[in-house]
């Protein structure tokens, strides 16, 4: 990887921080060790080009998702005047993988999905003046809600449950 | 602080992560303890409204700086065709406070300044197609450069040194 297209130590560190993940998670994503990641970030070892590329790709996927979701929300609010919205996020990997498996391929960690959600919240407020609340899925409370209302599990029902949490 | 304007646990956590700072640093910024910050982020205690406000203000300052800097860079490149630029960042608090004291009031931690720099790099690439490299100030190398060239310390000379590091 040429010097100009790669990332240097401090760039790699702040890219990782902006994604909300740990050195151990970068190691997992790039099939390296945590010690390697620390060495890249302190400049002891040159940053592995493939690892930088992986994180940049993820950042791009998140930015695309922010754009697409905000477009969707804008379309929604062209019909409804409601200016408050809830967005389900996942406080651990198990619930993320169970309830949101379609994202695990592109955003493998719940932290990456939540980072996208945070950016969506910011962008919606700034650009659309829509207040988005991130609602961490409470698996037990969600199950109880579905049982009480006799509802099957789906993205829509999750969103409905989240709206009851505002 | 009303429920709607405040941040909940997971929002507070991902705001902190997006700023690239630790729970201990949030504690420092909000005159709380690290244990408090952890309790806010896990939902054990309600998020202190003043702490959320402080982080949101910092995030806004960073976004303003991104806008202003990118505007400046755009103006610069309307005259010069050069599409590569270096931007000095600070790998520790001591060099940040010594060389960039005018920012310490609004962005008290070097990590916050570097987070701003990372967002500037991203925005410049996306919007202006300008490649910005973050160059961590190497105090010794910078001093040696100034001595050799007979230059006084200033923002401009720092930028000049950084350009030699590309």
ipTM of the complex: 0.94
In a domain, A152, yes or no: yes
Mean pLDDT, range B133-159, rounded to an integer: 96
Kindly tell me if the per-residue pLDDT of B44 is higher than 50. yes
| Rounded distance between C-alpha atoms, residue A161 and residue A141, angstroms | 9
List chain B residues with CB under 8 Å of A41.
Answer: none
| Per-residue model confidence (pLDDT) at position A77 | 83
Number of domains making up chain B: 1
- Which residue of B5, B7, B9, B11 is the best one to mutate when testing the A interface, meaning the one whose CB has the most A CBs within 10 A? B11
Nearest Cα to Cα of residue A40 among A82, A12, A62:
A12
Task: Judge whether A41 is closer than 8 Å to chain B, CB to CB.
Answer: no
CB-count burial class (<10 Å; 0-12, 13-18, 19+) for B77: middle
**pLDDT bucket at B77, cuts 50 / 70 / 90:** confident
In a domain, A86, yes or no: yes
| Per-residue model confidence (pLDDT) at position B153 | 95
Residue A147 C-alpha, separation from nearest chain B C-alpha, in angstroms: 25
Q: Do A134 and B11 touch (CB under 8 A)?
A: yes
Task: Judge whether B67 is closer than 8 Å to chain A, CB to CB.
Answer: no
Q: Which residue has the higher pLDDT, A92 or B84?
A: A92
| Element at A132 (helix H, strand E) | strand A131-136
Q: Which CATH number covers residue B119?
A: 1.10.3100.10
Q: How does pLDDT run along chain A (166 residues), one tens digit per residue? A: 334 458 999 999 999 999 999 999 999 999 999 999 999 999 999 999 999 999 999 999 999 999 999 999 999 888 777 678 999 999 999 999 999 999 999 999 999 999 999 999 999 999 998 999 999 999 999 999 999 999 999 999 999 999 999 8
Task: Judge whether A95 is closer than 8 Å to chain B, CB to CB.
Answer: no
Task: Judge whether A119 is closer than 8 Å to chain B, CB to CB.
Answer: yes
List chain B residues with CB under 8 Å of A84.
Answer: 4
Name the residue facing A14 among B14, B43, B114 (closest C-beta).
Answer: B114
Task: Judge whether A89 is closer than 8 Å to chain B, CB to CB.
Answer: yes
In a domain, A117, yes or no: yes
| Rounded distance between C-alpha atoms, residue B159 and residue A82, angstroms | 48
In a domain, A2, yes or no: no
Q: Do A17 and B115 touch (CB under 8 A)?
A: yes
pTM, 2 dp: 0.94
Pairing of strands B84-89, A84-89: unpaired
In a domain, A4, yes or no: no
In a domain, B1, yes or no: no
Please enumerate in sequence order all residues whose Cβ is within 8 A of that of B34, keeping only pairs 6 or more positions apart, or say none: B23, B24, B27
| Rounded distance between C-alpha atoms, residue B141 and residue B23, angstroms | 33
In a domain, A1, yes or no: no
In a domain, B60, yes or no: yes
Q: What is the signed CA dihedral for B18, B22, B27, B29, rounded to 10 degrees?
A: -60
| Rounded distance between C-alpha atoms, residue B26 and residue B16, angstroms | 8
* Domain range for A145: 9-164
Query: What is the separation of C-alpha A21 from the centre of its chain, rounded to a whole number of angstroms?
Result: 10
């Amino acid at each position: 990887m040429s010097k100009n297209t790669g990332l240097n130590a401090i760039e790699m560190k702040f890219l990782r921080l902006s994604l909300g993940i740990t050195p151990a998670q970068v190691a997992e994503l790039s099939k390296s060790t945590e010690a390697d990641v620390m060495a890249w970030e302190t400049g002891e070892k040159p940053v592995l080009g493939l690892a930088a590329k992986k994180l940049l790709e993820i950042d791009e996927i998140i930015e695309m998702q922010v754009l697409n979701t905000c477009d969707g929300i804008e379309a929604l609010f062209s019909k409804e005047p409601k200016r408050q919205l809830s967005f389900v996020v996942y406080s651990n990997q198990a619930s993320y993988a169970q309830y949101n498996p379609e994202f695990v391929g592109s955003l493998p960690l719940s932290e990456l999905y939540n980072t996208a959600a945070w950016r969506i919240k910011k962008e919606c407020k700034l650009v659309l003046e829509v207040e988005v609340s991130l609602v961490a899925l409470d698996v037990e409370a969600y199950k109880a809600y579905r049982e009480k209302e006799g509802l099957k599990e789906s993205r829509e029902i999750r969103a409905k449950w989240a709206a009851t949490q505002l």
